[in-house]
Each structure stands twice: as structure tokens, then as C-alpha cells.
């Protein structure tokens, strides 16, 4: 009888990490809410992007003329390209962080998550460097106002994402998540990929066309 009780206890312990019906239902609801939040952010960025495109198409020459009557220079696509690789690399490390957690590799998770945070921080440093050396100002021209508004808004999202990832990393190491219950990490990964996708659009608009 004692052996049977021990066996039953071991069987119950083995299922402690399984997803129960209540968690599965609330997880789906939270996922829907988070996706709707990302969609609202897409609408926000889309409004500013369409405004930028309208202003750009209303001017015959782009970049527009400066106060001295000369055409303003284009942004440094080479530097932005390197900085973009840094950000896109952080998307890859975030993917591996989530996969490592799913497979119970906590050490690898911490390494990949730390790499994501570092790369995100390096991207912001690169953006700050570009701001300091930009030959346009926010109030000086249409292209300057558009550039600083859109890239600044994206930079704020990256900064918020870094703070979010740091919190997730702390929570994961404190036992908040398990191998089967890790919605917070999923949400963090979706958010980080979102900032990557938005940057693809902004990089194309300001540096390539």
C-alpha cells in the first residue's frame, strides 16, 4: 500500500508541469489580447508612415531642399545596414532563447536571452550615434521631422522591449515559468520580432528608396 502511494505521488509529480485546461484557456485569451495590442501598434506606425509618404510624394525632389537652397543629403545607408544586422541578429538570438527554454536548456536560454539584450542595446547605441551625426534636425525639414519621429518611436519600442526582456529573464530564473507554461516568454518573442519587422519598413523607407 505504501509502495502504491509512493507510485501515485510520483505519477502526480510528473504531471505538475502539464498544461491544465484553465491555463490553456487563459493562455489563448492572453495571446489574443497581445496580438490585438501588436495590431494597434501596427496601426500607429502605419498612420505615421502614410503621413510620411504623403509628404514625400507632395515634394518634387527628395530629399527636399534645405534652408540654403541645396538638396539635403541622404541618410547613411551603410551604417544603418550594419546597425540593422545587429537588430536582426537579436531576433535570431531571441528565437533560440525561446527554443532553449522549451527544451529545458536553462543555461542556453540565459546565454541567448543575454545576447538579445546586448544586441538590442547596441542597436540603440548605433541609433544614438546616428542621431548625433545626422545632417538634418527634427524642426529643420520635413525629412528630418519624419525621420526622427518614426525612428525615435521605433527606438522607444526597442528600449521598452529590452526592459521587458530583462524582466522576463529575471522571472524565468525565479521559477515563474516552466517547460510547458511560458506565455510571457512567447509574448516577449512576438514583441521582439515585431520591432524587427517595423524596422524593415523604416529602413526601406529612409535608406533604400
Domains of the chain by residue range: 22-208
* Cα 53 to Cα 121: distance, rounded to the nearest angstrom: 29
The grid cell for 24 is 490553456
Dihedral sign (CA 124, 197, 56, 41): negative
Q: Which three cell numbers stand for residue 121?
A: 542595446
pLDDT > 90: what percent of the chain?
A: 70
pLDDT at 67 over 90: no
- Predicted confidence at residue 184, as pLDDT, reads 95
**pLDDT given at position 71:** 80
pLDDT at residue 36 is higher than 90: yes
Write the pLDDT tens digit of every residue in 127-159.
999 999 988 888 878 889 999 999 999 999 999
CA distances from 2 to 5, 7, 8, 9, 14 (A): 5, 9, 10, 11, 18
Q: Which pLDDT belongs to residue 86?
A: 98
Average pLDDT over residues 86-109: 97
pLDDT band, residue 93 (cuts 50/70/90)? very high
17, 179 Cβ separation under 8 angstroms: yes
Judge whether residue 196 has pLDDT over 50: yes
Supply the pLDDT for residue 156: 98
What is the rounded average pLDDT of the residues 63-68? 74
Nearest CA to 173 among 122, 120, 111?
A: 111
Confidence of residue 18 (pLDDT cuts 50, 70, 90): low
The pLDDT assigned to 62 comes to 81
Q: Decide: pTM greater than 0.75.
A: yes
C-beta of residue 17 within 8 angstroms of C-beta of residue 122: no
* Exposure on the CB side of residue 128, measured as CA atoms within 13 A: 9
- Answer whether residue 44 shows pLDDT above 80: yes
CATH 1.20.120.80 fits 22-208, yes or no: yes
Amino acid at each position: 500500500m505504501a509502495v502504491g502511494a509512493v507510485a501515485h505521488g510520483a505519477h502526480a509529480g510528473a504531471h505538475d508541469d502539464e498544461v491544465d485546461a484553465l491555463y490553456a484557456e487563459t493562455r489563448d485569451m492572453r495571446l489574443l489580447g497581445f496580438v490585438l495590442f501588436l495590431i494597434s501598434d501596427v496601426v500607429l506606425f502605419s498612420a505615421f508612415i502614410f503621413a510620411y509618404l504623403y509628404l514625400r510624394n507632395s515634394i518634387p525632389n527628395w530629399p527636399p531642399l534645405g534652408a540654403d537652397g541645396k538638396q539635403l543629403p541622404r541618410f547613411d545607408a551603410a551604417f544603418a545596414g550594419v546597425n540593422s544586422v545587429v537588430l536582426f541578429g537579436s531576433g535570431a538570438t531571441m528565437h533560440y532563447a525561446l527554443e532553449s527554454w522549451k527544451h529545458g536548456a536553462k543555461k542556453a536560454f540565459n546565454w541567448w536571452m543575454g545576447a538579445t539584450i546586448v544586441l538590442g542595446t547596441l542597436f540603440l547605441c548605433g541609433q544614438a550615434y546616428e542621431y548625433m551625426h545626422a545632417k538634418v534636425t527634427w524642426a529643420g525639414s520635413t525629412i528630418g521631422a519624419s525621420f526622427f519621429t518614426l525612428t525615435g518611436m521605433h527606438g522607444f519600442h526597442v528600449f521598452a522591449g529590452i526592459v521587458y526582456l530583462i524582466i522576463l529573464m529575471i522571472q524565468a530564473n525565479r521559477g515563474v515559468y516552466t517547460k510547458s507554461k511560458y506565455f510571457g516568454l512567447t509574448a516577449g518573442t512576438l514583441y521582439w520580432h515585431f520591432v524587427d519587422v517595423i524596422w524593415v519598413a523604416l529602413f526601406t523607407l529612409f535608406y533604400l528608396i
